[in-house]
Amino acid sequence: MGILSALLFGQTPKQQVDIPAMIRNGALVIDARTQGEFDSGHISGAILIPYDIIGQQIARHAKTKEQPVVVYCRSGARSGHARKTLLHMGYAHVVNGGSLHRMRKILGK
């Protein structure tokens, strides 16, 4: 699972994080899917910023580039692209939460 996790979520096993704790401590939760997908269900408190415009929209929502961010999508692929974009822009603490299903499982919802 470590290699698969690295490929899908852009994190190695050493980089595994406690996503629920991140969220409790103020992480910004971003849904990187489309409006239609978001409207059909999303994580409570998540904001919609599709992965292809996240670079243009993130500053409206993140207080600083140090604010932790958890990004998710349908499968983990788009959120992986969004994570790379944010890291390239200098955001320091960005985690790919993977899919909506995985996030719900992690958060116990």
Q: Whole-prediction pTM value? A: 0.86
Residue 103 has pLDDT above 80, yes or no: yes
**Residue 109: which pLDDT band, with cuts at 50, 70 and 90?**
confident
Residue 89 has pLDDT above 50, yes or no: yes
DSSP class per residue in the chain: -HHHHHHHHS--GGG---HHHHHHTT-EEEE-S-HHHHHT---TT-EE--GGGHHHHGGGT-SSTTS-EEEEESSSHHHHHHHHHHHHTT-S-EEEEEEHHHHHHHHT-
Can you list the domains of the chain with their CATH numbers? 2-107 (3.40.250.10)
Query: pLDDT per residue over 1-33, tens digit each?
Result: 444 444 445 554 445 789 999 999 999 999 999
pLDDT of residue 10: 55
